[in-house]
Structure 1
Amino acid sequence: MKLSSKKNEFGTAALYCRLSRDDNMDTESNSIQNQKKILQKAAKEKGYTDTLFFVDDGITGTTMNRPGFQKMIQAIENGYISAVFVKDLSRLGRNYIEVGRLTEEFFPAHDVRLVAVSDGVDSDEGENEFTPFKNIMNEYYARDISKKRRIVNKMKGNSGVPLSPPPYGYIKNPDDPRFWVIDPEAAEIVRRIYQMALDGYGLAETAAALEKDGVFNPTYYWRSKGTSRGGSKSTVEPTKWGHTTIKKILTLQEYCGDVINFKSYSKSYKVKKRIENPEENRAIFLNVHEAIIDRPTWEKVQSMKKGTRRRRPTVTQAPSVFSGYLKCPECGGNLNFHFNQGNHDIKFFSCQNHNSGLRKCSKTHYIRLEFLERVVLYEVNRLASFANEYEDDFIKTMMGRSAKVTENERARKQRELDGLLARDKELDGLFERLYEDNVSQKISDARFAKMSQRYEQEQGENAKRIKALRLELKKSEGKRMDIDTFLETVRRYTNATEITQRMVAELIDHIDVYHAEKQDGVTTQHITIYYNCIGAFSVPDRRKIPAAEITMGTRKGVAVSYSPERIAV
């Protein structure tokens, strides 16, 4: 639309309309259609026949970065506008500093008349002493609405209702839009991505495979289904998948059927930037909707992704499958992967705290990769043989006293957590009733503030303990695995002939590597493997269990023998 300059007696009037969720308590009078009628009539009565509408629908007044508003400001700066009409001052905004700058500096400097119809403000009739107070009250209203909305979101979030839109693979439940159901077409792609991760494919390889097969990325998939999603609009090809998209899909716990609320927060209702919430501050609800990925598979993928963001060797460009799994029993640090500068075929691990230059660890804990692979393969075969030949003894070992003690402790913590969560839910109910009484004016704002502060204080104290318990349970839960599942996993590697990344991720939690010691002319290195589910486990010597001596010659002509660290069972 072409704008005309100030040639009329009155010039061109800008009729500005705005509506957002902040105005949902009075949607009829504040509707865009009603605002247009009021402003058109008021402009005509003031003698303005040349008018232009500028509209922002669905945008909060706490920000001044609104498309319609900014177009109006640009038109004023270009000299096309002589008057601005709004229904009330809150339409300009709910930030009293910015609105005050407009009314007291910007409009007068550009010789623009301001008319706020409902507030009785007309700058041509002189200054209105109450205008600054109206701006302050408009911002207070936005602050109050924000506070009440946070309370409502807190109640919803703590009751297990998802606060975010469904991720790729899910859609809103047609029968109850608050919750999610599986989208079969997208869910199949999610399962494919996880399977590729288990098979050792990297992010780039997975993205390339999806693109080759013509699979729509999530943004274009939602568009093809007519689903509107917020955020930036992708301009890449419909089948172009980014590394970050694959990585996000591989880390979303929601695919296990869980709901995770309060992942991010904002510091103020004026600041729209979201800040990632620490994990202990989030509300996690297990098995709320149907899972796309079973939990053991999801946990395996997370284990496989650990330690991948490390500097790769400059020559081999390929980290070992053991990277991130080897620990130093002396200092607790990780063992880093290296290769010999003179002979790149010699690959080894050594303690990071010894090699750092600070010498926090007294020994190198050096171990050759080839030697380690032979040891682990040997022990995995022995473990699989024991599980197959002596299944009852194997299960009995896993269900031993230590596991029972751990389970009892976990159950005690779970009971305490359940009690605190029940009280938290009860307090949410009190908040809700208190909020309703305040809205219906059964109690005053002062009374509401006092009572809500008391409830918030109790919830704050409970929240600290809830966070601690959830962290403790998460750590213990991450190491627990169904006995049948672990037994089945062990059997899968019966007679294995090579070490794979998937094998390490499924079976091993970590490995303690001791420094090789020489006794009676024999150099021996102790290694302790800590398995998932059962921890450190020394396979008993039985007739049907294979036994062999593992020895490797070093480049200095010294033979190193392997010895398992004996564990009482």
Structure 2
Amino acid sequence: MSDRRSKIRCAVYTRKSHEEGLDQEFNSLDAQRQSCEAYIESQRHEGWNCLSNRYDDGGFSGGTMDRPALGRLIDDIESGQIDCVVVYKVDRLSRSLLDFARLIALFDEHDVSFVSVTQQFNTTTSMGRLTLNILLSFAQFEREIIGERIRDKKLATARQGKYIGGQPKLGLDIVDRRYVVNRKEAELVRRIFEMFLQLQSCRKVAEALDAEGIVTKTYTTKTGKTFGGTPWKRRTLYDLLTDQKYIGKIVHKGVAYDAEHPAIVDVAVFEKVQKVLRANKTYTHKQQVRRFALLRRMLTCGECGSRIMPSWCRNHGREYRYYTCSKKVKTGYGKCTLPTLPAGEIEKLVVDHLRFLFRHPDVIARTYREIQRLAECGPSADVLERLERLKARQEQTQTAIRAILDLGQHDSGFMAEELKRLSGELKPLELEIRQLETDTVDGGPVELEQVTDALQRIDPIWDVLHPEEQRRVLDLL
């Protein structure tokens, strides 16, 4: 390498999993960098030179690639600014065998060496790669053991009824990692439960609290950020009414344990509230997303500018569909004057108008001109850029699969799971790449008569199209 380059540009990468101690004048990241710089200095006769750019990830886990400094390091490698990456230990770069294989493949692709100050090896040899894989296997094993210990510790803490994390609640402050009852706020919590039993509606209770000028709990984090102090919303109130901490319980993994802090709300009152909430229960957002709505995310409220969202209700065993202003749903029905729209009527109105547009000369002419323009311009830059990104991801995934197969242990439990997951990622990537490549192929000139015929053919077949196909046509338009 010294023959090919008069100077080897070395980048030092450092990482620490926790933020604890990073505010010190000389912290763990500085110690790692100092050791790496000393090693680079010892290799100065070989042309090694330490770059001034710092790649420090403080408070980021080695089990993920989503790290800002690592992202900058990869960008600089891809732009040809780095010849060698130096770390204090291998697990500073990654604790995941799969991610490490991807990084080594990236280093090889750009002719970048990799050096660990405390573990001597050469990444260009098969023995060096084997050593790296063994070290990373142990690093990953250590990370999984740490994760198990944290989960076990959290479960043991919950069983003792102690604080297991999270933000302060209305009526409950956090002092020395313990919940302490805030007597003034506790009175408000009990009043909210009583108001709900009277009004039988989260929305009405939220409106009543907002009318009195009562806002959500305000608290400040250790970093000095302030949260809360906002108007009440239906969801915020629902979370409060269903929180078992108010009856002296700590919930972990769906199991409730007796808490060390006293109850604020009587259990009988809490159960009455849950019974009303279950009776009021409608379709959740996730259920609504799974349900089909032709005009989902296509309508905007003409009164307040919010998005129009689909909604459903049941009455006497019959289901009714509507489109409603999202502002009314989230903040109260008095916040917007737009009435609730019957879904069938509004969908028919939109489709009838579209059928008229399919035959309108101006629409046909504009469609033809747009097709001609796209044919002259060719594929857009966005499409070509996306195609390039997909191919890069495809290459990275294929490289990771080859790395696992090269280990010769792909029949083991962990490797088999990783191989299965990567194969699952590869298939949709290949399908999308083929689709984009097909779309970017020039199909030749299109005549005006062809555009007219294509648009007018939509009308007679509209009713026999699958609802998802109808929605796709609307999306395209």
The TM-score with structure 2 as length reference comes to: 0.50
In structure 2, the residue matched to 1:256 is: 247
Tell whether 2:290 aligns with 1:288: no
Within-5 A mapping of 1:23-62: 31-46=28-43, 47-62=48-63
SS of aligned partner of 1:130:
helix
For the residue of structure 1 that corresponds to 2:193, the secondary structure is: helix
Unpaired segments ≥5 residues, structure 1: 1-7, 264-281, 312-335, 341-569
> CA offset at residue 227 of structure 1?
4.8
89-98 or 158-167, larger mean C-alpha shift: 158-167
8 Å CA contact 2:15, 2:29 repeated in 1? yes
Contact 1:251–1:302 under 8 Å retained in 2: yes
CA distance in 2, matches of 1:186, 1:64: 42
Rounded Cα–Cα distance in structure 2 between residues aligned with 1:30 and 1:226: 23
1:173 to 167, 172, 175: 175
SS in 2 for 1:139: helix
Partner residue in 1 for 2:192 = 193
Q: Which residue does the alignment assign to 1:118?
A: 118
Q: CA RMSD in A?
A: 3.6
Distance apart, 1:289 and its partner CA: 0.8
Query: SS state of the match for residue 137, structure 1?
Result: helix
Query: Cα–Cα, structure 1 residues 57 and 251, in superposed 2: closer, same or farther, change >3 Å?
Result: same
Cα distance in 2 between the residues matched to 1:94 and 1:193: 48
Amino acid at match of 2:247: C
1:55 is paired with a residue whose SS is strand
Give how far 1:310 is off.
4.2
Would the aligned equivalents of 1:210 and 1:239 in 2 still touch at CA under 8 Å? no
> 5 Å matches for 1:377-388?
none
State the Cα distance separating 1:303 from its structure 2 match: 1.7
Q: CA offset at residue 338 of structure 1?
A: 3.7
1:89, CA displacement in angstroms? 0.8
Aligned partner of 2:11 among 11, 14, 17: 14
> In structure 1, what is the equivalent of residue 368 of structure 2?
none
Measure how far apart 1:244 and its partner are. Answer: 1.7
Q: State the alpha-carbon separation in 2 of the partners of residues 338 and 125 from structure 1.
A: 74
Taking a change above 3 Å as real, the CA distance of residues 40 and 284 of structure 1, as seen in their structure-2 partners, is same
- The residue number in structure 2 matching 1:164 is 165
* Aligned equivalent of 1:202: 201
Tell whether the 8 Å contact from 1:13 to 1:51 is kept in structure 2 after alignment: no
Partner of 2:232: 241
Distance 1:156 1:239 in 2: 32
Structure 1 Cα separation of the partners of residues 269 and 154 of structure 2: 32
Whether contact under 8 Å (2:60, 2:67) holds in the other structure is: yes
Q: Relative to total residues, which structure has the larger helix share, 1 or 2? A: 2
Does the residue aligned with 1:306 lie in a helix, a strand or coil? Answer: helix
Q: 1:111 to 1:183 in 2, by over 3 A?
A: farther
Instruction: Measure, in 1, the Cα distance between the counterparts of 2:82 and 2:183.
Output: 54
SS of 2:280's partner is: coil
Q: Counterparts of 1:460-479 in structure 2 under 5 Å?
A: none
In 2, Cα distance between the equivalents of 1:13 and 1:210?
A: 60
Instruction: Please tell me the residue identity of whatever aligns with 2:240.
Output: I
Residue by residue, what CA displacement relative to the aligned partner does 1:130-182 show, whole Å, maximum 9, x if unpaired?
112111111111122223333333333333323233541222234xx2x3102
Aligned to 1:162, the other structure's residue is in SS state coil
- Indicate conservation of the 8 Å contact 1:168/1:187, yes or no: no
* TM-score under structure 1 length normalisation: 0.43
Percent of aligned positions that are identical: 24
Q: Which of 1 and 2 has greater Rg?
A: 1
Q: Matched residues in 1 for 2:147 and 2:317: separation?
A: 57
Q: What does residue 99 of structure 1 align with? A: 100
CA contact (8 A) 1:13 1:52 kept: no
Q: How much does 1:92 deviate?
A: 1.2
Matched residue type, 2:83: S
Amino acid at match of 1:151: D
Q: Secondary structure at the match of 2:179?
A: strand
Q: Which amino acid aligns with 1:180?
A: Y
Offset at 1:212? Answer: 4.4
Amino acid at match of 1:254: K
Q: CA deviation at 1:95?
A: 0.9
In the TM superposition, residue 86 of structure 1 has moved relative to its aligned partner by 1.1
In 1, Cα distance between the equivalents of 2:168 and 2:67? 28
The equivalences for 1:170-569 within 5 A come to: 170-174=172-176, 177=177, 179-184=178-183, 186-200=185-199, 202-218=201-217, 221-222=218-219, 225-227=220-222, 238-263=229-254, 282-285=255-258, 288-310=260-282, 338=316
Query: How many residues align structurally?
Result: 274
Q: Which runs of 5+ in 2 are unaligned?
A: 284-313, 319-477
1:135 is aligned to 136
Secondary structure of 2:65's counterpart equals: coil
- 3-state SS, counterpart of residue 7 of structure 2: coil
Cα distance in 2 for residues equivalent to 1:152 and 1:22: 20
SS across alignment from 2:205: helix
